[in-house]
A and B are shown apart, each in its own frame.
Chain A
Amino acid sequence: DIQMTQSPSSLSASVGDRVTITCRASDTIKKYLNWYQQKPGKAPKLLIYQTSTLQTGVPSRFSGSGSGTDFTLTISSLQPEDFATYYCQQSYGLLYSFGQGTKVEIK
């Protein structure tokens, strides 16, 4: 199984801050890395697929990069609606495993 490790597990930031979340795979997953945003009581929402492609409707302040085993989600200027939990997910192996999540809180 491919294990996904996110860091940090939580962070505090202010509106307007640049935020970076990292995700590491236990084995190469090439470009097959997705990012999701989840707000309390809601279903996850796809933000970015295959490392860097924004899902339709996702603001351009979100970006993704990386390849192989190391990946990054960046929010260039944090907005009030971005306070949520973010999950990475690999879709290279048959079992699509998730990272443990990063909770982005208001400072």
Chain B
Amino acid sequence: EVQLVESGGGLVQPGGSLTLSCAATGFTFSSYALQWVRQAPGKGLKYVSAISTSGDKTYYAYSVEDRFIVSRDNSKNILFLQMDSLTAEDTAVYFCARVSPTYSLDRWGQGTLVAVSS
């Protein structure tokens, strides 16, 4: 069974840093591009970042570029999102998702909550 499990969320002060992880099982991890999507409380879904199968290509929403770094460890089947200089606007549930060969997000994790507050 395909599973994506996020971890690493929590409460962080403005200006702080946090690294999220997404552990994958049940599929050939290195064969799929992956994305991070976030959802602020009561709001809609927003694209955050994407990474290619090998990790050599990364993409970011304008709101997070220069502050967030996406990476992956294909030997351990883990996706990461390093988040720096966090602000209240980054408060959200962060989902990792698998990019299917048809360019849709066909599997999602359950999400991890990041709360930025003093």
Contacts and interface: CB of A to CB of B under 8 A. Distances in A.
Contacts of B108: 43-45
Contacts of A42: 110
B45 A101 contact: yes
B106 to A, nearest CB: 5
Tell me which of B62, B100, B104 has the highest count of chain A C-beta atoms within 10 A of its own C-beta. Answer: B104
Contact of A89 (B59, B61, B105, B110): B105
Chain B interface size, as a band, is 20 to 34
Interface stretch (A15-23, A49-57, A69-77): A49-57
Nearest to B106: A46
Given A46-B106, A55-B104, A96-B105, 18 more contacts: A1-B62, A43-B108, A43-B110, A44-B108, A45-B108, A46-B100, A46-B104, A49-B104, A50-B104, A87-B45, A91-B104, A96-B35, A96-B50, A96-B103, A97-B47, A98-B45, A99-B44, A101-B45
